[in-house]
Structure 1
């Protein structure tokens, strides 16, 4: 089936956090007239097999209590084997309603208040929020910015772990917002250091299906088993198939002791089973959604390159490196804005809603994170608004 990702679907009249002005205005100082390219979901219609599966549930007419069946687990196992060469076991899979809630549960139950947790900035800001909201201390190890290509400062990484008695490290792979897909040798260095100091690892791999063809994702679960002792891998169909609203994430925990402790914590608040649509979304996506995903990746590839071409021709002072994964562009506009306050520029002049770089850490000052999982016409309109406002 050929999908039409150029189709513009009006999301402003539904409860879209990204598009409904009444829902985004508090984030953007009361503005209700912005073109939204911020929240990390797609503006594309979901794959037909997923819609058909959910329509079947509606047609059945009863939305009672549900629980995963064997097909649900096998769909997850088969997908991970085929797409990531990752052999996961049914016993590792734990449902949680989101990756960010899962990170909070892990922080609450595997660390103590005032413990130190390490993140690599600039990075997805809920890592910081989840840590600080649970009265833990954030320690940052800044990524090295090599003219837009980011690498890990392993010397600083180990130093921060040793000096601060780090209990937990949160990895983002692929990295949000800088778009790096970490290579196996990079992950092995991380794994060795964390093993040496007995540091728990959360590997957030939620974008791991959104990898561009010249790159490949390495899951932490494909490394040697000795590195699994202190490991939690967080993933979901939500980014892959644009299903964030069904609140279904998959936490993979190969260490049975850690898994039992995590499940016990979930049991205390009675988080047990995915909702009806979550179960069907997982099965239909992983069993029948690959054709849709391949077409999405091709469309996203064209969009990321369109941004590169547009900026090179019209805003050459903007610095942008093609992301290796995700559908998020990390753009340095500090030179283009020449000291102008970035919030005032985007909200009052360009009229575009994006994520401001400083949300991801002080290293992001002057940057924006722009979501290009949208019809090309919307992306072009947003870039033209930025260009015209700069003029």
Structure 2
């Protein structure tokens, strides 16, 4: 074990979003925040060292994205996930949500239909509505074992000539699925049949637990490459959200040119010189760190699962991400009561399941990407609250 995830520095006195927004979101600062998807684990030292080295040059001005940055990502994606992107396919973006909004504007018009698969990360449906497109929900199917699958029959039933875009979460946030090849091929078949472009949010693609394997949508076939927009980056994998850098891969030249019309009009520009070197260092040097991180995260998840299941909370089987999807319906609480239970009794700030769509009613999302020490605090708070709830009921 080369890296130590047992402790981490405090973020209380920084401007960290997950801490500074506690009062606004939960009505109190007296909660351990486990909501937004960044880690209470230190950004890798090799990333910070690369930034320090860049700061030896005293001028931080406008810079173009260096080809070496994208080449590092291309090689990582080829080696780790078996997908081939070319340098000309790649575009800088400051966030996946920004890329998603640009895609909605580029590939649809007002009144067109855009498909999302709920429960899903809230910007998926907010972005569609804000662009005055018609939101089409294709809810995932929840099985008796707590796992989720696509509902292809429902998807087919909701498509018509105005359906232009499908927003795919892969791996899925919040339910933690790694879609199998055959599942993705069903989505591909439907989208090819109806000339639908697929925006594939693959930002969590490196946070996969064995024996699962991420299948990039663009890797399915040549036809899949021709209809796919792939959003990827270092933010989740290496806890680098504050660098505000990700990328978009668009192999189809015609789609790329349509995207660029919006992209250039918005003026995404080329990002920060410090972000460039951080991004490249993560992909060049991050493999060993990531493997050790995933082993740590798996331990955290197991502890959480064992605790929850003693008190009638079902933990959705997780294949990817560091976001646990907790089925709390066994507690007999309505959504508002459930939120209050976690805030007031457990003193934990989680993401309410209902915010991911009505299919999330009765669920909560908990970010377990924390140090061992902080995970112990979370478990202690949670178990004390659940014991009290059981006695009262």
Q: Matches of residues 210-359 of structure 1 in structure 2 within 5 Å?
A: 210-312=207-309, 314-315=310-311, 317-339=312-334, 341-359=337-355
8 Å contact from structure 2 (residues 113, 165) kept in 1: yes
8 Å contact from structure 2 (residues 115, 167) kept in 1: yes
8 Å contact from structure 1 (residues 35, 382) kept in 2: yes
Which aligned runs of 4 or more in structure 1 are off by greater than 3 angstroms?
A: 337-340
CA distance in 2, matches of 1:269, 1:170: 21
Report the alpha carbon displacement of residue 114 of structure 1 after superposing the two structures with TM.
2.0
Report the alpha carbon displacement of residue 110 of structure 1 after superposing the two structures with TM.
1.6
What is the Cα-based RMSD across aligned positions, in Å?
1.4
Report the alpha carbon displacement of residue 386 of structure 1 after superposing the two structures with TM.
2.4
Report the alpha carbon displacement of residue 72 of structure 1 after superposing the two structures with TM.
1.2
Deviations 1:224-265 (A, max 9, x none): 111222210111111111111111111000110111121222
Quote the residue 1:148 is aligned against: 146
TM-score, normalised with respect to structure 1: 0.95
Q: Identify unmatched segments of 5+ residues in structure 2.
A: 389-393
Structure 1 position 43 matched with structure 2 position 40: yes
SS state at 2:115 partner: strand
CA distance in 1, matches of 2:375, 2:70: 37
SS state at 1:123 partner: coil
SS state at 1:168 partner: strand
How many corresponding residue pairs? 385
SS state at 1:294 partner: helix
Q: Matches of residues 172-183 of structure 1 in structure 2 within 5 Å?
A: 172-183=169-180
SS state at 1:6 partner: coil
Structure 1 position 386 matched with structure 2 position 389: no
Quote the residue 2:366 is aligned against: 370
SS state at 1:187 partner: helix
Deviations 1:249-304 (A, max 9, x none): 11000110111121222212321212112211111001111111111011111111
Report the alpha carbon displacement of residue 158 of structure 1 after superposing the two structures with TM.
1.1
Quote the residue 1:15 is aligned against: 15
CA distance in 1, matches of 2:268, 2:127: 18
CA distance in 1, matches of 2:263, 2:237: 25
TM-score, normalised with respect to structure 2: 0.95
CA distance in 2, matches of 1:221, 1:112: 24
SS state at 1:77 partner: helix
SS state at 1:233 partner: strand
Quote the residue 2:25 is aligned against: 27
CA distance in 2, matches of 1:68, 1:5: 32
8 Å contact from structure 1 (residues 308, 322) kept in 2: no
8 Å contact from structure 1 (residues 355, 368) kept in 2: yes
CA distance in 1, matches of 2:28, 2:329: 23
Deviations 1:129-165 (A, max 9, x none): 1111111121111111113110111100111123x73
Deviations 1:31-88 (A, max 9, x none): 1111001110111111121111001122322211111223112101111111101111
